[in-house]
A and B are shown apart, each in its own frame.
Chain A
Amino acid sequence: MTQLPPATSRQLGLVIDLDICVGCHACVIACKGWNTEYQNTPLSDADAYGAAPSGTFLNRVHSYEVQPENGAAQTVHFPRSCLHCQDAPCVTVCPTGASYKRREDGIVLVNEDTCIGCGLCAWACPYGAREMDALAGVMKKCTLCVDRIYNKNLPEEDREPACVRTCPAGARHFGDLGDPDSAVSRLVATRDGYDLMPEQATRPSNKYLPPRPKDTLGEVDVLAPFLEPATETPEGFLGWLDRALEAL
């Protein structure tokens, strides 16, 4: 049903720590792997070994340079995927009911059996979270690994999204953001987690934790004493020679 549920009993989502992310793209690859190898319709690639490879991904990592008023520019690696919004505009535009938000855990999903591939949901999403699969002709998006997190066939430590499981830096966290006492909610509160493009009023579930302020060394340059300029005028024998030659 393409009407949004009035409320969800839980709101699962991700918390992404921009202070920790090192931009290794391991989450991108883990996501592509899980959603290709264990699905009926894989995330397809075109011209994979050619000059202009392209393909469907549910998670992308941008790298930005942030220039403060004063001081050096800072590099921030920025993973971008579906934010499982509470007021998801991608859901209400869908003409077939393929795009929906689950009442029980707030995950936004696409039912590929009813999708007509019109692309309107991708237009409605401010975050570029949806990509039409060029081969399958249906819309693909992050499922929050709904086939992992409830999967009793997996060991318990694997019952979290593939991107979270694989992140070598620990920059990604998974949990119930609808519960103010959950670990992820407390993390968001402690670190001033924020919403992307809040002016779009989508109420995203996923939160981003800002990079911590950089240390500053002030005006003291610890290497300065070692960089005293060498004396220009030679002394001793070389000084006498220099003066004698000048006098000639």
Chain B
Amino acid sequence: MHPAPSVILFTVLSGFGLGLLIWLGLGYPGVTGWKTFIFYVLAYGLTLGGLLASSFHLGNRKNALKAFSQWRSSWLSREAWLVLLTLLVMGGHGFGVVFLASHIPPLGWLGAALALATVFATSMIYAQLKTVPRWNHWTTPALFVSLALTGGALLAGQAGAATVLLTLGSALQLLAWGLGDRRFALRGHTAETATGLGQIGQVRQLEPPHSSPNYLMKEMVFSVARKHSLKLRAIALLLMFVIPLLLLVLLPGGFWICGFAAVSFFVGTLVSRWLFFAEARHVVSLYYGDATPRQPGTGQTEPSP
């Protein structure tokens, strides 16, 4: 899939912001007054910044409000509702904490639950797609939620919780990559099932239907990243988990240490999210000669340009 910067920024930024809102809703960090104000500004800035970034990939922004209408069937519509409700509820909660120095736990818990549900809805936009086997699995929502909670914990200065979450997150990330690598082949999608010509023999593209790339190829037949994927995975693991964990374990836990860990985690998450898109293969690529890897040596492993 095409790793569009707008969508990568949206999912990472809003994931961070909503993750922080979860912690703020639960009452962490346990401060009130103007100190908390900074945290709320940060959380709203990240979430709204992400939403703004996401609007850049819309072809027809003037209809954006209509996206609230189909919550019964569409995860994208549910996400729109949930983010709106989260921002409203947490706005009320934040007002109480910042200006009245009073924490209203039930309101905070509701806000935290809504923020968590928003991240889940975002992940389900990808996880629901049977056409992208790598995403179509429970590890996708698990990883999105875990990364949001971790980012939020780091921003909220919760070193202890962040250490546990980072350890858990690294295991989830490795599991998602490991299982994801084989899923396309396991689901049995091939050029033969795509064309239905498998009953005659092995199918390969002889002539593409058009001379230069179209929307489908630009959007869904992206294959540039795969040759560097191992190096990028190592970089992502280092920045997301290894460096933050070392910082938190070796140095005395404090706000600034958490801040540095958060920056490293943020950049690592960007790399991981880029790979999330770039490594994902859409089944439509089968029509364009991007064949499923067969036995090594049959010459069908690399897509034709």
Of the listed stretches B36-44, B52-60, B147-155, chain A binds B52-60
Q: Which of A2, A55, A113, A138 contacts B59 (CB 8 A)?
A: A138
Query: Across the interface, do A123 and B220 meet the contact criterion of CB distance under 8 Å?
Result: yes
Given A62-B207, A116-B59, A95:B201 Cβ within 8 A = no
Query: Across the interface, do B206 and A126 meet the contact criterion of CB distance under 8 Å?
Result: no
Query: Across the interface, do A128 and B203 meet the contact criterion of CB distance under 8 Å?
Result: no
Of the listed stretches A70-78, A147-155, A160-168, chain B binds A70-78
Task: Tell whether B304 is near chain A: CB-to-CB under 8 Å.
Answer: no
Chain A interface size, under 10 / 10 to 19 / 20 to 34 / 35 or more:
35 or more
Query: Across the interface, do A76 and B70 meet the contact criterion of CB distance under 8 Å?
Result: no
Complex CA distance for A3 and B83, rounded to whole angstroms: 22
Task: Kindly provide the distance from the CB of B229 to the nearest chain A CB, expressed in whole angstroms.
Answer: 21
Complex CA distance for A169 and B278, rounded to whole angstroms: 41
Complex CA distance for A69 and B201, rounded to whole angstroms: 6
Query: Across the interface, do B70 and A210 meet the contact criterion of CB distance under 8 Å?
Result: no
Task: Tell whether A122 is near chain B: CB-to-CB under 8 Å.
Answer: yes
Query: Across the interface, do B59 and A119 meet the contact criterion of CB distance under 8 Å?
Result: yes
Convert A191-232 into 0s and 1s, putting 1 for each residue whose CB lies closer than 8 angstroms to a CB of B: 000111111110000001011000000000000000000000
Complex CA distance for A57 and B217, rounded to whole angstroms: 13
Task: Kindly provide the distance from the CB of A171 to the nearest chain B CB, expressed in whole angstroms.
Answer: 15
Given A115-B63, A128-B220, A65:B188 Cβ within 8 A = no
Of the listed stretches A5-13, A86-94, A179-187, chain B binds A86-94
Task: Kindly provide the distance from the CB of A114 to the nearest chain B CB, expressed in whole angstroms.
Answer: 5
Complex CA distance for A124 and B74, rounded to whole angstroms: 12
Query: Across the interface, do B206 and A75 meet the contact criterion of CB distance under 8 Å?
Result: yes
Query: Across the interface, do A116 and B209 meet the contact criterion of CB distance under 8 Å?
Result: no
Query: Across the interface, do A120 and B220 meet the contact criterion of CB distance under 8 Å?
Result: no
Tell me which residues across on chain B come within 8 A of A178, comparing CB atoms. Answer: none
Task: Tell whether B73 is near chain A: CB-to-CB under 8 Å.
Answer: yes
Query: Across the interface, do A128 and B58 meet the contact criterion of CB distance under 8 Å?
Result: no
Given A117-B60, A197-B193, A123:B131 Cβ within 8 A = yes
Query: Across the interface, do A120 and B202 meet the contact criterion of CB distance under 8 Å?
Result: no
Task: Tell whether A68 is near chain B: CB-to-CB under 8 Å.
Answer: yes
Query: Across the interface, do A95 and B69 meet the contact criterion of CB distance under 8 Å?
Result: yes
Tell me which residues across on chain B come within 8 A of A73, comparing CB atoms. Answer: 201
Convert B189-201 into 0s and 1s, putting 1 for each residue whose CB lies closer than 8 angstroms to a CB of A: 1010111110111
Q: Which of A23, A60, A124, A210 contacts B131 (CB 8 A)?
A: A124
* A and B contact pairs by CB, cutoff 8 A, 9 listed: A25-B209, A60-B214, A63-B207, A65-B206, A66-B201, A78-B195, A92-B74, A128-B287, A210-B200
Binding site for B on A (CB under 8 A): 1-3, 18, 23, 25, 28, 52-57, 60-69, 73-76, 78, 80, 89, 92-98, 113-120, 122-128, 131-134, 136-139, 194-201, 208, 210-211
Nearest 4 pairs of A and B residues by beta carbon: A117-B59, A137-B59, A68-B201, A60-B209
